[in-house]
């Protein structure tokens, strides 16, 4: 029965990532073309084979380079004759919404090979203006969910996630000595990733001495704006035998939407609605959390990894802090290697798509100095208010 699920009809057949820049000399569409070209070469496909296209999120000229290239621009710049065109959206389950849409388009027979891309140019935007992107809209008053935080000076998401970190510290008796290992582990792995933005060694002492941004979150708890693009080729399962790579199966997917975008928070600020994405994920597979070889966990802020790891049932509620303490269990040779390419904290903010790229890198055995031994299954998750998770599996 599980074979009938839409994601089981799909696999990832190629991935590509542009060179990371802070800032990049390439403009956003050139970054996109670079990533797409690499992904097609990787899969052994040409532009003529691509009959579906989507991205996350919609193109916008606002927001400091958060999405400078949309589906239409990429489709015509590349000359793709798509039968299925995705409607990228900020709504829904966040970053992976484009991947989930691609899966449904393939499973329903609308297309065979979908190009999914994510382009960011936040470092270039920062060169032009260092002000808060949230305040750059020009409106004199705030509306929507921002109205619940901005009048209290909380213009950065770090202020909101700091509340989660402090609540977690208070409830479970955790502290920066544990949280710091998220950053230290990422930096350790980034040293083996030629496309990571930060590779200089970082110790837990460096972390504890680093500048406070919004207590208890420090500089190294925050991810880094970059310019770059990631492209994934998602294909119908029956096409894979003719292609260059062994297929990476989409074993399961899970999604959820929290109320954060509406200013609504539930629970005691130590859990996320991502829990429902984790439940959905494991309901759709016979695999278990213990079968996971490595975990690519969203780390817009370090605290996300604790909350997500628990939401994905990789550890029990309240155990993430102890699990990461000392950094051995999440190390490359540990029981659950995490963010093996450096994550967003050290790899750069490819905005979720870097995590899926890294999972594929591991499952295809391309990790070089950061390769996890016998990596067969990787769990990937993205998001801080819309939540998406994938379980990827190699044969």
Partner 1 sequence: MSAARKLPVIDELSGFFWTSGADGRLRILRCGPCSHWQHPPQPRCAKCHSADLAPQPVSGRGRVVSFTVNYQSWQKDVAALFIFAVIELAEQAELYVFSNLTCAPEAARSDMAVEVIFEQQEDVWIPLFQPLGADHA
Q: Which residues sit at the interface with partner 1, rule CB under 8 A?
A: 131-132, 135, 140-143, 145, 147-156, 158-159, 162-164, 166-167, 170, 211-217, 262-269
Kindly report whether the peptide bond that precedes residue 23 is cis, defined as omega within 30 degrees of 0. yes
**Three-state SS for 154?**
coil
Rounded to the nearest whole angstrom, what is the least distance from the CB of residue 354 to partner 1 in the complex? Answer: 24
Looking from the CA of 352 toward its CB, the CA atoms found within 13 Å total: 26
d(CA 120, CA 318): 34
**Based on CB atoms, which residue is closest to partner 1, 48 or 135?**
135
CB atoms < 10 A from the CB of 53, how many?
28
Rounded to the nearest whole angstrom, what is the least distance from the CB of residue 334 to partner 1 in the complex? Answer: 30
Rounded to the nearest whole angstrom, what is the least distance from the CB of residue 260 to partner 1 in the complex? Answer: 11
Kindly report whether the peptide bond that precedes residue 375 is cis, defined as omega within 30 degrees of 0. no
Rounded to the nearest whole angstrom, what is the least distance from the CB of residue 236 to partner 1 in the complex? Answer: 41
**Based on CB atoms, which residue is closest to partner 1, 151 or 201?**
151
**Based on CB atoms, which residue is closest to partner 1, 242 or 268?**
268
**Based on CB atoms, which residue is closest to partner 1, 115 or 256?**
256
- Spatial CA neighbour of 177 closest among 186, 169, 187, 188: 169
**Three-state SS for 392?**
strand
**Based on CB atoms, which residue is closest to partner 1, 81 or 268?**
268
Burial environment of residue 45 by CB neighbours within 10 A (0 to 12, 13 to 18, 19 or more): buried
CB atoms < 10 A from the CB of 244, how many?
12
Rounded to the nearest whole angstrom, what is the least distance from the CB of residue 282 to partner 1 in the complex? Answer: 27
Rounded to the nearest whole angstrom, what is the least distance from the CB of residue 142 to partner 1 in the complex? Answer: 6
Rounded to the nearest whole angstrom, what is the least distance from the CB of residue 146 to partner 1 in the complex? Answer: 9
d(CA 355, CA 368): 17
CB-based contacts of 217, cutoff 8 Å, min separation 6: 158, 161, 162, 165, 301, 302, 303
**Based on CB atoms, which residue is closest to partner 1, 107 or 154?**
154
**Based on CB atoms, which residue is closest to partner 1, 165 or 233?**
165
Looking from the CA of 240 toward its CB, the CA atoms found within 13 Å total: 21
Token readout for 25 is 């000399």
Rounded to the nearest whole angstrom, what is the least distance from the CB of residue 301 to partner 1 in the complex? Answer: 12
**Based on CB atoms, which residue is closest to partner 1, 167 or 191?**
167
Find the farthest-apart pair of alpha carbons in the chain and give their distance in angstroms, rounded: 57
**Three-state SS for 91?**
coil
d(CA 40, CA 48): 10
Q: Note the residue count of the chain.
A: 395
């Amino acid at each position: 029965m599980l074979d009938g699920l839409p994601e089981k009809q799909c696999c990832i057949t190629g991935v590509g990532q542009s060179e990371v820049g802070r800032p990049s000399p390439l403009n956003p569409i050139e970054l996109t073309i670079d990533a797409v070209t690499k992904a097609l070469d990787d899969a052994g496909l040409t532009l003529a084979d691509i009959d579906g296209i989507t991205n996350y999120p919609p193109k916008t000229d606002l927001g400091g380079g958060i999405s400078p290239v949309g589906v239409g621009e990429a489709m015509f710049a590349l000359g793709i004759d798509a039968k299925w065109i995705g409607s990228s959206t900020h709504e829904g389950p966040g970053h992976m919404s484009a991947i989930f849409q691609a899966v449904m388009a393939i499973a329903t027979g609308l297309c065979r090979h979908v190009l999914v891309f994510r382009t960011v140019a936040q470092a270039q935007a920062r060169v032009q203006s260092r002000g808060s992107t949230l305040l750059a809209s020009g409106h004199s008053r705030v509306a929507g969910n921002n109205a619940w935080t901005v009048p209290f000076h909380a213009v950065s998401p770090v202020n909101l996630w700091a509340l989660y970190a402090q609540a977690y510290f208070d409830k479970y008796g955790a502290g920066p000595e544990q949280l710091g290992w998220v950053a230290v582990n990422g930096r350790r792995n980034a040293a083996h990733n030629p496309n990571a933005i930060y590779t200089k060694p970082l110790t837990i002492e460096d972390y504890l001495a680093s500048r406070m941004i919004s207590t208890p979150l420090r500089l190294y708890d925050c991810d880094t704006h970059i310019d770059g693009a990631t492209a994934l080729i998602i294909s119908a399962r029956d096409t894979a035998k003719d292609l260059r790579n062994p297929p990476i199966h989409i074993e399961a997917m899970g999604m959820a939407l929290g109320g954060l975008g509406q200013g609504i928070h539930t629970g005691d600020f130590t859990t996320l609605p991502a829990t429902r994405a984790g439940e959905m994920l494991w309901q759709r597979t016979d695999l278990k959390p213990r079968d996971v070889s490595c975990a690519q966990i969203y780390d817009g802020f370090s605290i996300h990894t604790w909350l997500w790891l628990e939401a994905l049932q990789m550890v029990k509620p309240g155990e993430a802090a102890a699990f990461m303490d000392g950094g051995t269990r999440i190390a490359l040779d540990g029981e659950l290697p995490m963010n093996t390419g450096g994550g967003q904290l050290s790899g750069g903010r490819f905005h979720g798509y870097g995590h899926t790229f890294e999972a594929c890198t591991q499952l295809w055995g391309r990790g070089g100095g950061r390769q996890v031994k016998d990596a067969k299954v990787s769990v990937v998750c993205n998001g801080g208010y819309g939540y998406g998770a994938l379980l990827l599996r190699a044969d």
